Structures are given as C-alpha cells and as structure tokens.
A and B are shown apart, each in its own frame.
Chain A
Amino acid sequence: MTSLVQSVDWLAIAPPTIAALTGLLVLVTDLFVPAGRKGLLAWLSVAGLAAASLALLLLLDGDRSTFCLTGDTAVCSYTADRFTVVIQFLVLAGALVTALLSVGPLRENRGGEAELPAGEYWFLLLSSAAGAALLPASRDLATLVIALEVASLPAFALVGLRRGDRRSAEAALKFFLSSVVATAVTLLGASFVYAATGTLHLTEIATALDDVDPALTTLAQTGVALTLVGFAFKTAAVPFHFWVPDTYIGAPLPVAAYLSVVGKAVGFTGLILVTVVAFPSYAHVWGPVMAVLAGLTMTVGNAAALRQSSTRAYSAVRLLAWSSVGQAGYLLVPIASAAYADDAAGAERAVGATVSYALMYAAVNLGAFAVASLVARSRPRNRIEDYRGLYARRPLAALALGFFLLCLAGLPPGIIGLFAKVTVFAAAVDAGLGWLAVVMAVNVVIALVYYLRWTAVLFRARVDAPQQAPVRLPLPLTGAVALTAVVAVALSGAPQLVLRFSEGVLF
C-alpha cells in the first residue's frame, strides 16, 4: 500500500519558498518596526532575495522533482531542472536589482508621510517574485495558472501603491482589468484542454493530445490557442500590449523595471512550458500564431518607440516601455521557431535562444532602468531631453547607459546584445522562418534609430546649464547600476556564459 502523504523535496522548492517566507516575515516585522526604522525591511528583503538566489546553487547538481503522482512517480507538478534554475535565477536576481532600486524611492516622503508604504511594498514585491519563481518549475496547468496569478496579483497592487497619485491608480486599474480578462481566458483554455485530454500534467497532455477523440479536436485546438493568451499578455505581445506604456509611467519606476523584466519572464516561461512541453503535437496550430505574434509585436513596439518625442514628459520611460514591447517580439521568435524544429532537441535549442536572449535583456534593461531612476532623482519628469549632457554631469552613468542601450540595439561595443540577437536570428533561419528573420532585421534597424538617438543625446553638450547642487545618490542605486554594468560588460567579454543555453541543455 502506498502512502498518501507525499514526501516533499524541500531543497527543490527552496527558492520560491524562501522568497515567500521572507515576504511574510517582512509583513509581520513591519508591525513592530517604528516609522523611522523602515530601512530595516529593505535589507531584510534584499537578504531574503539573495538567500533565495543562493539556494539555486544547491540545485545545480541535477534535476529534482517533487509533488509527483503517487501512482506514477515520473509525473510531477514541480521540477527543478536546468530550465527552472536558470529562469528562477533570472527572476530572483531581477527582483533583487528591483529591490536595490526601490530603496531610494521608499525613503522619500512627502509632507511627513512616506509616499510608498514600506511594509506593504516589500511584501508585495517578494510575493510576486515568489510566484514568478514558482512558475518555471510548474509542470501542470493548475500550478501554472496559480503561479501566474501569484506573480500578477501583487503586481497590480504595486503599480497602484503610490499614495494620492491619480495616474498610479488609473494605471493599476487598467493593468488589473486587462490582466484579469487575459488570465480568465487562459483558465478557460486550460479547462478545454483538460476536457479534451483528461489530465493537467504537461507531459501527460503532450501524449494525450496525440490521439484526441476526433470529436474533441476542435475543443482541444481552441483550448491550446486560448491557453496562450494569458501568457502572451504578460509578455506584452501584440495585441495584448496596450496596457504597457500607461502602466509603466503610472507605476513607481522600480516596479516598471520589475514588470519589464520579471513580468516578461513570467510570460515567456509560461509560453515555453505550454507550447514546447505540453502542446508539441499542436505545433502546426501555435507555431504560425507565435510567428505572426512575434512579427507584429516587434513591429508595433519599435514603431511606437520610434515615434516618441523626446521632450514629452516621461518620454524616457515611455520609450523603454515601447522598446520592451519590441524586445518581447524578439523573445517570441525562437519559441515560434521551436514549432518548426525537426525533433525535441531542435525545439529545445530554439527555446534556449529565448532563454539566452532573456538573460541578456534582463541585465541590460534593468541597468537602463537603474540609470533612469538615477536621473529621475534630479529630474523627476524623466524626459529624454533631461539626459542631454549626462556625460558631462555623471560620466560613468552616461557610459553605462550608453552601453546598455547599445546592447539593447545589438551593436558593438554591446557585444552580448549583438550575439544574443545572432542566436535569435539563427533560430529563425534554422527553422526556415526566413520571412520572420527579415522582419526582425528591419526591426533591428528601426530600433537602432531610437536607441542611438538617445545614446547621442547623452554625449551632447547642454544647451542650458543651470547650476544646481548635485543630488546625493543612495548607495543601493549606484550599486544596482554598477552591478548591471559589470554583468553586461562581463557577458560581452564571455558571451558563452549565457549563450550556452542555446545549445539545448535545458530540460
């Protein structure tokens, strides 16, 4: 007789668990910490995220699974394989950098009252990070949807957390309504798939979909398509992208950085799991859909980013928002290519290109947001015009931002950006998606225009030079810029560090 009590591999689930427990700890600690000492909470959160990231080191030795079926131990709900560990690292490190960026804004107060409530902020951030870390490990549709919700719900609150800011509340509402609709559609799709296959586990679905009852084929196909919607929304793929600019501007800047990196990671991880692991036999359905989505997403994102006027308020964040939509398009290209791969190994290699690209993107995009936060301290309107002559004021920050932007554009000296794009191109060419590769090529050129325009502004001489006292920068913010810059430069010297995932050693 088998035991009904599952044995849980605590080590395997440590990273999301540590993040979640730290969140609870912070929430409780908040009650006992006097208003003047809220800084303690920040360090507690940073330490928690760092510990969760370090816990990943223990998972490097091999694949672990837990929450398996008692009948068939090969079918599990939680798996910590290479893919999981890499994405968890991306998510937790991204959250860590976000935490560093958040320390400054949380210290600010307006009229005696803090603009952002510290305890709540850290709790929400950690909860969302825990959900995002759970998602790559999920191997059944129910866990996947729950993880998606855990990652998203705190994010709505984070966007609307700024007290007495109408724009922030409006952004949160917009984000909330559209996101909930998308998740509901995903849930509907998942239930269709369940109805057609009778199982929720991804690998089981993959086998069951091979011989679906002919009467249920339409249901299964609809289910497959609908399931993708919620994740496409998180990735900000067109046509689920319209919430991005307003939300990024309305949200506190660190939250926007978080959404642009961790939120996107949630989206494309879900897409990879559903498409490549669960629905490989329906590649002819989702393959073309993903390819068209990818093409549309990058084109719309880049075209909109190109049209941003540099003197409009918040144009820097607006540009980063639209550029992140464009970048999401590049992230989708290898996933689409995976549909056309000859075998599972080929699909894995293609998906690996997305992972490589995402790691590069995470480092440099967080870096760009870090410099944006730095500039926002002295120029809260954050127009691109405000970056004029940054090199004269803060040469290192300007060089770092220039480097990040060139990485995003994929031009030397941003070597890692260039080669990450090359892997994405290679995936598309390998899959025979020549048209998508050409669309992407055109987009790379469009994107170059606005990235380079911004880079050129950094080094231009100031027209007016109002002398103002230099604003003191909080140490964590400087640390975040330095950290991302060091990572980006190191990756440029040794691109193999992230590109090795495109060799297909993930699952």
Chain B
Amino acid sequence: MIDISDTVLQFVLVVVVAGPLVGAGAALLPAPPGLRGTSPDQAVLRHGVTVTGAVLLAALVLAVGFDHDHPATMQATTDISWIPALDVRLHFGVDGISLPLVVLTALLTFLCALYSYFKMPAGPSPRAFVALLLVLESGTLATFAVLDLLLFFLAFEMVLIPMYFLIARWGGAQKAQAAWKFILYTLLGSVVMLLGLLVIGLDSGTFDMVALATDNGSGMTKSVQVMAVLAIGIGLAVKTPMWPLHSWLPDAHTAAPTVGSVLLAGVLLKMGTYGFVRILLPATPDGMSVFAPYLAAFAVVGIIYGSLACLALARKGAGGDLKRLIAYSSVGHMGFVLLGISTMTPTGVNGALFANIGHGLITGLLFFLVGALKDRTGSTDLDALARETGGALYGRAPRLGGLLAFGAVASLGLPGLAGFWGEMLALFGAFRPAEGLHRGAFLTFMVIAGIGTLLTAAYLLIVVRRVCMGAPPAADAPDAPRLADVQGYEFASWTPLVALTVLAGLWPALLLGLTDPAVQQLLAGGKA
C-alpha cells in the first residue's frame, strides 16, 4: 500500500521477531530510573504493554509496507548463515499466508499484556509473567516468519517452556497436571516431527522452505514423502490439535490463566495448521495426497466429537466448565481448518487460513469473556453460572451478556461475521477436492461436517440461553452478587477483536486477497 523500502521492512521484521526476546531480557532487569512507576510490579507490567505495543506497531508497519500486489512473493526477507554444519540459516520473510498470522499474534499478545496490566492473574511475581509472555510471543512470531525447517522447529519448541510456566504458575485448579500434559503431548509430537523434518532435509539436501516449495517434492520419492508426512503430520496434529490427539487441550485451557487461554487458542494452535500449509502441502504433495483422506476423516470426527462433547457439557446438571466447553469447541473449529487443508485445493486451503484467523479472533474474545466472568463470579462452572433460572447476564450485566452472545454467534458461523467464511470455504473445498482424491469420500465428509455446524449452533445457543437469559434475581437476593459490567480496560482489550470479527466477516476479500495468490503458488509448486 505504502511504499517502504525493502531494507526497512527487513529491519522491521527482525524487530518483530527479536524485539519481544530483548524485551523479555529487559523485563528481568530492574527498571531504570524514570521508568520505575508506582511499584516494581506496575513498572514491569507497563514494560510488557510497551514492548508488545511496539511489536504490534512494527507488525502493522510491516502490513502497511507489504506489497499487496504481490502477496505470493516472500517479502522483507533476511537470509544469513547461522550454523553451516547443519545448514541452518536465519531465513525470515513473510508472504500473504504468514502476514495475517503475524499481525494476529502481535495483536492478541498486546491485548493480553494490556488486560494483564489491569488484571494480573493470581500467582507469583509479574516480572516472570511478563518475561514469559514476551518469550512466548517471540516464539510464535518466529514460527510464522521463519523459512528454514530447523529454525521452524526451534521456534515451535520455544513456546513450550513459557506456556508450561504460565499454566503451572499462574493457572487455576489442577494446573500442574495440565501443564505437564500440555508439554509432554506437544514435545512427544514435536520430536517425531523433528525426525520427519530431518528426513525431508537430508533427503532433498536443503532445509530451506522456499527451495522445498519450489521443488514441490520432485527431489523425493513417494515413500520418503509418505514417511515424512506421517512424522511431521503427527507433530503438527498434536499442536492443532486433531482428534484423537487433542486430549491435552481441554485440561490446559481449563487450568490456564485467561491470557494463557487466549494465546493458546488464539495463536498457538495456529502453529500446527500453519505448518501443514507451509511445509507439508508444498514440499511433500505426494505424501500429503496419500494421507489427505485420513486427515479429512479425523478432521470431521473431530468436528462431530467436539460439538457432541460441548453439547454434553452444556446440558443442565452436567457440571460442565465453560472454559472446557470453549476448548472442545476449538477442537471442532480446528477440524474445519484441517478439512480445508486436506482438500488440497485453493478454495479449501484459503478457507482453512481464513478459519484460522477467524477462530483466533473469536475464541480469543470468548476466553477473555469467560475469564472476566470467572473474575466476577469466581466460577466457570456452567451450572453455577446458570443457576436454576438462567444466568440472566443480559439483565445483570447487559454489555457483558451482549458480548458473550456476540462471541457465541460469531463462533457458530453466522454469516457476516469472521467465523462464517472459513468454514464455508472449507466445505466448498471438500465438495470438489483436488484431483487424485476420492470425491465420494470428501462429499461424505462435507455432509458430516455440515451436520457438525448444526450441532455447533445448538450448543452455543444453549450456552447463550443458560448464561445470558433468564430472570434477573431480585435485588436483595443473597445468592446473586452484583455483577460489574464491562470495565474500561476490558473494552479496550476486547473492542479490536469485535471490530475485526465484523470487518473480516463483511469484507473477506481483505484476507482472501492476501492468502489466495500465495496459496495458488504453494499448491502449484512455487510457480505462480
């Protein structure tokens, strides 16, 4: 849009990736004079807001300076040799596929930092909290910006330790167990993924993602590709998470602090699906087409399973936890993303990328809202929230109730909001999958996924009815404490999400215009 020289953009991208890391180091040092604030805790939390804000600003500059006429080419690329022994290069760059994810990550982390500044989760010192948050941000941004397989693995692993500590130290009930489950599952998946990455790298002689995409798998035999896709796919599927490898997710979400949940659902899960699109689709197309039907089958099972689990949790008297419910709904939503990828068509993959962003915005918002509810009522138990007559959030805290209803209908895929396009495009893709894939099977998957959307609508509406509607308690009833409505800082951290959900829903071309050329090129083997 605006012409910014490439050298500047390079620098900006490096700042985006490395900035949070520097900020994390600085957070551990005592604040310099003049920036001490009212207390050390306040100073360090403010430091977090400043750094994430600066990174967001840099990400926006990157988005503005990005050449929107050529989203398929890698831009702002840096390519420096780092470890010649392993052929690891510090190769960064963004294209139409990664740019939206980079901006989403920067935005969500900034909102989380802002939210924590006013509402620090209970736990030990904020100093470590801010440092871990920044390391997490750096790892996630690096995952989306690197163009080297081993560097991708490094970035992929980099988020584990910070997320582990965020859950284990600032989490709720059963936090230690949940944190363990999270890190063990992901690590087991990612070491298997490392083996697959090594197979690709050693067999084709390069770890460079751009070169691999250009080769389009021509350097590898089909059996090597099958092996690589299996190994890498398992690692990515754990992260996504794909049914039946999802069982760490509900526990992690239930135990994590609000901002942990927001980032986990909003951006960490995307690292898995991004890996599918960035690595497996272009580098190993033959192996991918072998596994595509299975991936699609697991994806639709995930969709149905996720929504049935949610329905069970939403029932009256089931004692369902609202955070756990949203976590299971994530399993379903990520199922749509995987279905879109498995079609191996531009339509499906574009849908998957759109659904990625949509899910990040909407689920991020939902976790913020549930976190706010928990702060007010002290519980996320659906039965406790809904009471006998319904939670009556509309009556007790109308803005909060309205936002929750908005998040729910956005999540169920109401046309005009961000959740709609991704899922619809994924279903379209399944209607006409790529050549070589069994169409009948994909048509069946499409129908099942379609049923899944109905179930999704059902449980979300049940949640809205039970939590938002109902008769407000009498003003003097002892069992219903007064609920504070949305505060200023909450508005500040939620409004961008709401606005973007509406914007992406009404103007999908904004995103699709970025992703489509890049996807076309990836699927065509690096040749536009």
Interface residues of A (CB under 8 A from B): 356, 406, 411-413, 415, 418-419, 422-423, 425-426, 429-430, 434, 437-438, 441-442, 444-445, 448-449, 452, 456, 459, 461, 495-496, 499-503
Contacts and interface: CB of A to CB of B under 8 A. Distances in A.
B477 interface: no
Given A422-B198, A452-B164, A412 B191 contact: no
A496 B202 contact: no
B195 A419 contact: no
Contacts of A419: 83, 86, 88, 150
Interface residues on chain B, size class = 20 to 34
7 contacts: A412-B139, A412-B161, A423-B86, A441-B192, A448-B184, A496-B84, A499-B86
B82 A412 contact: no
Given A425-B194, A441-B194, A459-B169, 13 more contacts: A411-B157, A413-B158, A419-B150, A423-B85, A425-B198, A426-B198, A429-B199, A429-B202, A441-B188, A459-B165, A499-B85, A501-B85, A503-B84
Contact of A415 (B154, B160, B187): B154
B84 A500 contact: yes
B82 to A, nearest CB: 7
B124 interface: yes
Interface string B156-187: 01101100110011000000000010011001
A456 B153 CA distance: 23
B14 interface: no
The residue among B158, B187, B191 with the most chain A CB atoms within 10 A of its own CB is B191
Contact of B150 (A422, A449, A501): A422
Contacts of A501: 85
A459 B179 CA distance: 15
B83 A445 contact: no
The residue among A419, A461, A500 with the most chain B CB atoms within 10 A of its own CB is A419
Contacts of A449: 180, 184
B183 A452 contact: yes
B46 to A, nearest CB: 22
A424 B380 CA distance: 46
A448 B191 CA distance: 11
A452 B168 CA distance: 12
Given A413-B161, A499-B85, A502-B85, A429 B198 contact: yes
A441 B88 CA distance: 21
A459 B129 CA distance: 12
Contacts of B153: 422
Contacts of B160: 411-412
Contact of B85 (A411, A448, A456, A503): A503
A38 to B, nearest CB: 40
Nearest to B160: A411
Contacts of A430: 202
Contacts of A406: 161
A412 B157 contact: yes
A412 B154 CA distance: 7
Interface in B62-106: 82-86, 88
Contacts of B165: 456, 459
A503 B83 CA distance: 11
A411 B161 contact: yes
Nearest to A440: B191
Contact of B195 (A415, A441, A495, A496): A441
B208 to A, nearest CB: 16
Nearest to B158: A412
Nearest to A444: B191
B500 interface: no
Nearest to B84: A496
B85 A500 contact: yes
Contacts of B448: none
B480 interface: no
B187 A445 contact: yes
B128 interface: yes
A397 to B, nearest CB: 15
Contacts of B199: 429
The residue among A422, A425, A442, A503 with the most chain B CB atoms within 10 A of its own CB is A422
Contact of A422 (B86, B158, B180): B86
A448 B161 contact: no
Interface string B249-272: 000000000000000000000000
Nearest to B156: A412
Contacts of B83: 419, 495-496, 499
Given A411-B157, A418-B154, A441-B194, A456 B86 contact: no
A445 to B, nearest CB: 5
The residue among A412, A415, A448 with the most chain B CB atoms within 10 A of its own CB is A412
A356 B86 CA distance: 12
Contacts of A502: 85-86
Contact of A456 (B135, B168, B188, B195): B168
Nearest to B139: A412
B187 A448 contact: yes
